[in-house]
Structure 1
Amino acid sequence: MPHSIATWNYRPALAEFIGSAMLVMAIVGSGIAASSLSPNESGLQLLEMSVTTGLALTVLVLVLGPVSGGHFNPAVSLIFWVIGRRGGTGLTTGELATFVVAQVVGALSGVMLANVMFGLRPVSTATQHRASAAHLVAEVLATTILIVVILGLVRGNRVALVAPAVGSYVSAAFWFTSSTCFANPAVTVARALSDSVGGISPSSVPAFVVAQVAGAVLGLLVGAALFPVESPLRR
C-alpha cells in the first residue's frame, strides 16, 4: 500500500536537495569568485575551485550523510539502486526517483543562488564547450574512480571515511582529469545555467551525462570485482 503524505519520510529527499544545492553553490560560486580574484590566472582559479569544492563536499557528506547517505549525485544513487535490485542493501525504485528529482532540483536551485549572490542573472546560458573526446574519456574515468572509492569504503565497513575520501578525491580529480571531474549528472545540468568559469554549454551536457552513467556502470563492475562483500550503504 502506498505511503500517505503523513507517513512519507521526507528527510532523505530534503537532505539530497540541500546537499546538491550547496554543492553546486560551492562549485559555481567559487568559480565566479576565482575569476574575479584571480583574473587571467587559470591555474590559481582551478586551485581555488578544487579546494573549495572538496572541502564543501566533505562537510556536506559528514552532515547530511546520516540522513540520506549523502549521494548528491544521480550516478551514485543509480548504483545503489542497482545494488538494491540485486538483493543488496540499496535504494528502492521509488527512492531512486525521489533522490534524482531532489538532486536535480537542488542543483538547479544552487546554481541560480550562486549567480544571484555574485550579482549575475539567476540563469545565463553557459558558452564553454567541453564535449571533446578527451573530456568524455576523462568523465568516464572520473566517475568510475568515484564509484570505486565509495564502494570500497562502504563495503569495507569504513563509511566514516567516505566524506574525507570523496572530498579529497574530487579535489585531486579537478587536476588530473581534463574535464575537471564533473562526475555528476545533476551538477552537469545545473552548470549549463551559469556562463562562468564553472559552466558547460548545453550542447555538451548530453554527452557528459552519458559518459558519467557509463563511468558509474563501469565503477560498479570494478567495485563488485574488488569488493564483493555486501554491507549497509547508510550509517
Structure 2
Amino acid sequence: MGGKSRRRTTAPAALVAVAALVLAAAPSAGAGPRTGTGTGTAPSPAAAGAGAGAGARQGASDASPTPPVPRLPRDFRGKGKWIVRDLDITVPFTWEGRDGDSQMTAGGPQYPIWFTNLIYRDTLYTLTYKWPGLDEHPCSRIPGFNLEALNEGFENARFVGPETLRSTPQRRVNHWRVGVVLPQLPPGNHPRLPLALGDIYVDEDNRGTFWQVLQFGVQNLYDPELDEWLVMDTFEHRPGTVALPRRCEPPRPPDGAW
C-alpha cells in the first residue's frame, strides 16, 4: 500500500462496499435466492462479533420456506451506530433515503472517524472527512449505480436463517449473506479468494427494514482487519434527507444530454 505509509486514496466501506458486493454478485437470468444449509440453531458469527448477539429461534428448520430477499426501499430514515471494533471506535450513524436516493453518514467533526456515502442521481459517492492514518480526502464518484442496481444485486443473496438479535428491544430477523469471490469457477479444488462479504439482517416481517449489516473484505481498506458494521436503533419507512456535499462534483448528464 505504498510502503509503510498508511495514506490511501481508495474509497472506504459503506455504500462502496455494498456496490462491490452486489455488482459482482448480480444474479443470472432466472436465478433465485439460495437457501442456507444450516438449521439456524447457532448464533451468527457476524452478529456475535457486533456485540448485538444473535441466536436462532427454537423450531427453525431447513424445511422453512425461504423468505423474500432484502430490498432497500425508496424512502426511509434510521439512526444507529457505526462500529470499527479493532480500532475500538463506535460513532453515531444515520441512514436515510428519499425518492430512490440514499445517504449514510457516520461520525462527525468531533469523532475519530467521519464519512458520508450516497447513492445520488444514478451515481455512487463516498467522502471521508476523517479516518486514522488518512491524509487525503477526495470525494470519489462512481457513475451508473442506483437503487435498482443495488436491489438487483440482493437477488442473489443466500438465506442463512431466522435469528433474534439480542438488542433492546430484541429483533426477530432474517439473516442473509452476499459476497464476491474471485475468480468465479465451478465447484471443486480451485484456488479462489473471498474479495468482499456481507451479512445483512432484515426484519422478519419486512424485508425493507434493515437492522444490521456486517461487511468484510478489501473494500474496507482503511480498517486493518478489513471489517466494519452498522447496527440500527431505529428504521422508519418515511422520506429522509439526502444532500450531496459541496466538495462532491454533481452527477454528469448522460452522453448527448447537454
Provide TM-score, normalisation by structure 1: 0.27
* TM-score (normalizing by structure 2): 0.25
Higher strand share: 2
RCO higher in structure (CA 8 A, sep ≥6): 1
Whose helix proportion is higher, 1 or 2?
A: 1
